[in-house]
Amino acid sequence: MCGYLDSRQRDAEIISEILLRAASEPEFRNSLLREPSRVLQEYNISEEAKAIIRTSITDLTQ
C-alpha cells in the first residue's frame, strides 16, 4: 500500500509542476495542447495523471 501512496503523491507533485509550468510558459502550454501525448511521455506518471493534466489544461484554455 505504501508504494501506491508514494506513486499517487509523486503523480500529484508532477501534475502540479506541469500545470504551473503550463501557466507560466506559453510555449510549453501550446505544446501540451497540440501534442499532449508527446509532451507527457517525457514524464514518468500514470495514465490517470496524464488524463487529469489533459482535462485541466483544456479547462484552463476555455
Cβ neighbours of residue 54 closer than 8 Å, sequence gap 6 or more:
36, 40
Whether 12 and 43 have beta carbons less than 8 Å apart is answered as no
Q: Convert the pLDDT of each residue in 6-62 to its tens digit.
A: 999 999 999 999 999 999 999 999 999 999 999 999 999 999 999 999 999 877 766
Confidence category of residue 2, pLDDT binned at 50, 70, 90: low
Q: What is the pLDDT of residue 59?
A: 74
What sign for the dihedral angle of Cα 23, 62, 31, 9? positive
Q: What is the pLDDT of residue 22?
A: 94
Cβ neighbours of residue 6 closer than 8 Å, sequence gap 6 or more:
none
Q: What is the pLDDT of residue 57?
A: 86
The model's pTM: 0.85
